[in-house]
Amino acid sequence: MLILFLANVFGAEYIVRVDSMVLGRVRTSFGKNGWVSVSELEYGEKYIVETRTVYAASGVLAHYEAIFRTRGEVVAKIVGTRRQGTTNVTLYAYNDSSRPAVKTFAFDNPEIFIVDNNFVIPHFEMLLKNPRPVYQILIPQALFDPSKTEKASGTATLKRDNQGRFIFSYEGVEIRITVDKDGIVRMEYSNGIVVERVKK
């Protein structure tokens, strides 16, 4: 289970806020089992998203798993794997904890990049380590909502502004990313959310 990998010492911590209102924190680390990220966020109620991501040498996904908890209970899980150029994503929804609803999706693009929408910093770190003007991306959480399935994967762009910041854009959302020698310092979303590093 993912919880076994959380013994790693967290290497960086970020705060998530809108103006002065804090929405939560994100902690990340890298170890022999890949990138681990834990997002503790509150949108009406508190939830925790624990992810582990392993990348191939090319920077694309090799293995990804995410566990979602509210009130201490697992409410959903995602497992993604890439084999022979195909990325398979399986969703588990625990409406009935004894028998989760399960759906699997397959994506044939061999260079698809995963971008978790719970402020999983390592996913953006990997994008910036493999900079290119256009990416094919996958947002696995969007697959839970049938109305958003079509936008769960598509084409994103990356460029730099005159201040040296990266600008990542997808489906009308822009993220301005500031980096230093240690990685991502700040992410400013066009909807007003700011993610900023507070410890490295």
> Which tokens in the block code for residue 64?
């990804």
Per-residue pLDDT tens for 63-103?
A: 999 999 998 899 999 999 998 889 999 999 998 767 889 99
Domain boundaries, position 20: 2-199
Per-residue pLDDT tens for 124-177?
A: 998 898 889 999 999 999 999 888 888 899 999 999 999 989 999 999 999 999
Q: How many domains in the chain?
A: 1
The string of DSSP letters for 129-171 reads HS--SEEEEE-GGGGGSGGGGGGSEEEEEEEE-TTS-EEEEET
| Residue 9: band (very low, low, confident or very high) from pLDDT cuts 50, 70, 90 | very low
> Which tokens in the block code for residue 194?
């700011």
Distance of alpha carbon 64 from alpha carbon 171, whole angstroms: 23
